[in-house]
Amino acid sequence: MTENELIGLEISEILEKFNQLESELEAANIKIELMRQDLATYQIMTYSPRRETMISEGQTNLFTDPSEDISEVISHEEYSKPEPPVVEKSEKKTTKGSKPREKSVGRKDEILNQYVQEDVYHYLPDEEQVCHDCHHPLKLIGPAQVQQELVFVPAHFKCVNHHQMSYKCDHCSSQADKDQFVKSELPSLPFVNSFGSASVVAETIYQKYELKVPAYRQENHWRKLLLPLSRTTICRWHIKACEYYLGFIYRALHDEILMHDIAHMDETTFRVLESDKQQTFYWILQSSQHHDHKVVYFSHQDGRGSDKFKEVIGSFEGTIHCDMYAVYRSADESTENLELAGCWAHLRRKFFEASRVSKGLPKTTADEILTMINTIFRKEREWKELSIEERFKKRQFILKRLMDNLFNYIDQCAANTILKDKLSKAFSYAKEYKAYFYNVLKDGRLELSNNAAERSIRTVVMGRNNYKFAATFNGAQAGAVILSLIETAKLHGLDAKQYIQYLLTHLPNESDLATAKLDQYMPWSNEIKEACSAQTVIGDVVEEKTA
């Protein structure tokens, strides 16, 4: 082998080694970038606010380069930020060292006048009812209201003694061997020979499931009121109240929602000590806002497989708003009369997470896509008051074009993406479930997001952060029954505690709940609305500044 051949061989080996090192460096850079994004995600989840807000127009990011131009894909007229409405300036009351604020005229008086009024008159002591100058007696000329004081009256008990009146028929008694007596009817109580009256049980339910006060913390509260209730008694009341009375309304709510054709669905974890599994699940099935008889139905299951899904969904036929969990998708593929509407809020969240961990261009690809998705949401908000037919037409002519532009841009960007980072995962998510996101165009009653179910199921999340777990499956299912009644009542403008108390007062007086007509006890009945309508707070929350 000649010297030139040896030199050529060495050069080729060097080039091969160089290419190998270059590819290894590129792989290392990709790995470092993925690790950087994981670290950024952890920091964001730990320290940053969870709200999905984008950087405002004009707010810049340091250490960035200009983003690529995509004007040929996006219509600036369609995706431009809307002009803020012109608001006429009102007179402001300002004080030194404070921000200008509007003066609320009569706001305090309006709040105080809704309560029971009590007048207290303050007199001078007898020895001071003398003029300091001439020492002659003073003459009373009348009072003047100077100040008002709002007094909190703590809760208290009273014992109602029910006396049953007895009547005797003298005529029948005189002609019979024994006296003829007739007694007046007594109202039936939820539990016989128990402290658990309708009002007391409803209060314990309200404290646990609305105020999120666990039973063990309620013990101290009731002891301060001289009622020695144990946590075991409170939990047993809830289970038995659901078994004897509330469960009938709960099953009627389920039958009602199965007759609807649009629903929202979600699930979340919950711990049950009796279970062999680490986690069990609360499922939620909620009516669309366009149904008159709105229902929020919770069900506790020991899993989240397809069999549990079918148990919750029953014979439902129609469209379900949900995330892209595999059980929902398999049910959609295997069930003829079931269709899924993808949640656009989940899609937006994928790109929002990618935007937060990006190194930072002033307008990254994820930011551009977020702007496009937010425009779609803004259009929906503008059409909120339209009729179902008008909203359907708007979606066909405007929303569909916006969606087409969005997914065309996603396809264009995804083709140039190699790194398996959060942005590429967002692209994959959008492309894989594209058909589900388009289903919202099929009906003017459908919604862009599944936020309705997520807002309702948040009560379970808040509850488990306080009372942590249920000891038994019966206790967890009792929670599902109670939460269904409470959340459904709130959708119909009812006071949840009053509604529970009304049911526990009247249902025990039904002879047979299995055959009774329960329409009068449903949250949308006129009788219930008259008896349990929630009182509305006057105006907004008042924020006072004390000296």
| 406-457 pLDDT per residue, tens | 999 999 888 776 666 788 889 999 999 999 999 999 999 999 999 999 999 9
Q: What is d(CA 425, CA 357) in angstroms, rounded to the nearest whole number?
A: 13
Q: What is d(CA 524, CA 252) in angstroms, rounded to the nearest whole number?
A: 13
Whether pLDDT at 101 is above 90: no
CB of 248 closer than 8 Å to CB of 484: no
Question: pLDDT digit string (tens) for 180-213?
Answer: 889 998 999 999 999 999 999 999 999 999 999 9
- Phi–psi pair at 146, nearest 5 degrees: -105, -40
CA-CA-CA-CA dihedral for 20, 25, 30, 36, to nearest 10: 160
3-state secondary structure of 508: helix
Query: What is the rounded average pLDDT of the residues 396-409?
Result: 94
Amino acid at 232: T
Per DSSP bridges, beta strands 318-322 and 338-342 are parallel
Question: pLDDT digit string (tens) for 246-294?
Answer: 999 999 999 999 999 999 999 999 999 999 999 999 999 999 999 999 9
CB-count burial class (<10 Å; 0-12, 13-18, 19+) for 332: middle
Q: What is d(CA 436, CA 312) in angstroms, rounded to the nearest whole number?
A: 21
Supply the pLDDT for residue 45.
Answer: 63
Q: Which helix (H) or strand (E) holds 74?
A: none
- Phi–psi pair at 419, nearest 5 degrees: -65, 130
Nearest C-alpha neighbor of 490 from the set 499, 503, 481 = 499
Query: What confidence tier does 511 reach under pLDDT thresholds 50, 70, 90?
Result: confident
Q: Is 241 left (phi over 0), alpha (psi -120 to 50) or beta?
A: alpha
Nearest C-alpha neighbor of 459 from the set 240, 310, 266 = 266
Q: What is d(CA 209, CA 346) in angstroms, rounded to the nearest whole number?
A: 28
Please report where in the chains the tokens 């500044």 appear, as a residue. Answer: 545
Residue 187: other Cβ atoms inside 10 A: 10
Whether pLDDT at 25 is above 60: yes
Buried/exposed code over 202-236 (b: 16+ C-beta within 10 A; e: otherwise): bbbbbbbbbeebbbeebbeebeeeeeebeeebbbb
DSSP annotation of 59 reads -
Please report where in the chains the tokens 């300002």 appear, as a residue. Answer: 94
Q: What is d(CA 306, CA 309) in angstroms, rounded to the nearest whole number?
A: 5
Question: pLDDT digit string (tens) for 227-242?
Answer: 999 999 999 999 999 9
Q: What is d(CA 225, CA 121) in angstroms, rounded to the nearest whole number?
A: 31
Residue 54: other Cβ atoms inside 10 A: 13
First to last CA, the chain: 98
Supply the pLDDT for residue 228.
Answer: 92
Nearest C-alpha neighbor of 189 from the set 505, 499, 500 = 505
Nearest C-alpha neighbor of 30 from the set 419, 426, 425 = 419
Q: Could you give the C-alpha distances from 165 to 185, 505, 508, in angstroms and in order? A: 9, 21, 21
Q: Which residue has the higher pLDDT, 17 or 113?
A: 113
3-state secondary structure of 299: strand
As a three-state string, the secondary structure of 84-110 is CCCCCCCCCECCCCCCCECCCCCHHHH
Q: What percentage of residues in the chain have a pLDDT greater than 70? A: 81
Q: What is d(CA 420, CA 422) in angstroms, rounded to the nearest whole number?
A: 7
Q: What is the length of the chain?
A: 547
3-state secondary structure of 9: helix
CB of 184 closer than 8 Å to CB of 164: yes
Supply the pLDDT for residue 335.
Answer: 83
Q: What is d(CA 415, CA 431) in angstroms, rounded to the nearest whole number?
A: 12
Q: Is 193 left (phi over 0), alpha (psi -120 to 50) or beta?
A: left
Question: pLDDT digit string (tens) for 33-69?
Answer: 667 767 766 666 666 666 666 554 444 443 334 443 4
Q: What is d(CA 187, CA 142) in angstroms, rounded to the nearest whole number?
A: 51
DSSP annotation of 126 reads G
